[in-house]
Amino acid sequence: MPKLLIATNNAGKVAEFRKLLDGCGWEIVTPVELNIELEVEEAGQTYLENATMKAVAFAKASGLTALADDSGLEVDALDGRPGILSARYAGPDLTDAERAGELLKELAGVPDEERTARFRCVIAIARNEDNVRSVEGTVEGRIAREPRGENGFGYDPVFLLPDRGLTAAELTPDEKHAVSHRGVAAMKARKLLESMLHDD
């Protein structure tokens, strides 16, 4: 079975991808398992550029096919911010909860109907720098008035799914994977990975 390197040091993301890609025909491996220590600066202007940079760098370092994603929260009332800066929003050393708190402060006077937002995720799969494929997933929602829920990470506790009346952090992991931006993108990535097996 060919190996697929998940190009991230984020344990939460690794766990999510293991679950989302389970049974895709590839053996999922991580940088830690391969003793690869690599930090790729996300200097791109788009999610696709950042995901591609990470996937290519880890593919080069490992000699394996590598999968990386870049994702962010786009809030309409903030002209699409924090966007690709979501993980570094409001300062480099904040916790997820502090970042979400800063976002809520910025939106304090914004009425519910104008708090529309979406999570966007782009996944890049690279064999090398000349062979990169990508897919994208989005989920529409609204920014809640306060954080709710214990599951998930990042902005999940403040991202409300209006049709369910729950934040992403109030969903079970399986419910979240079915509707999340990363879940949608990973379903497309699964199909891509399966087709790559047939190409070989």
Residues belonging to the active site: 70
| Amino acid of residue 125 | I
Cα gap 83→42, rounded to integer Å: 13
Cα gap 42→25, rounded to integer Å: 29
Contact 196, 67 (CB under 8 A): no
Bridge partners (DSSP) listed for residue 122: 70, 136
Q: How far is CA 199 from the centre of its chain?
A: 27
Contact 54, 124 (CB under 8 A): yes
Q: Which helix (H) or strand (E) holds 17?
A: helix 11-20
Contact 176, 151 (CB under 8 A): yes
Query: What φ, ψ does residue 14 adopt, rounded to 5°?
Result: -60, -45
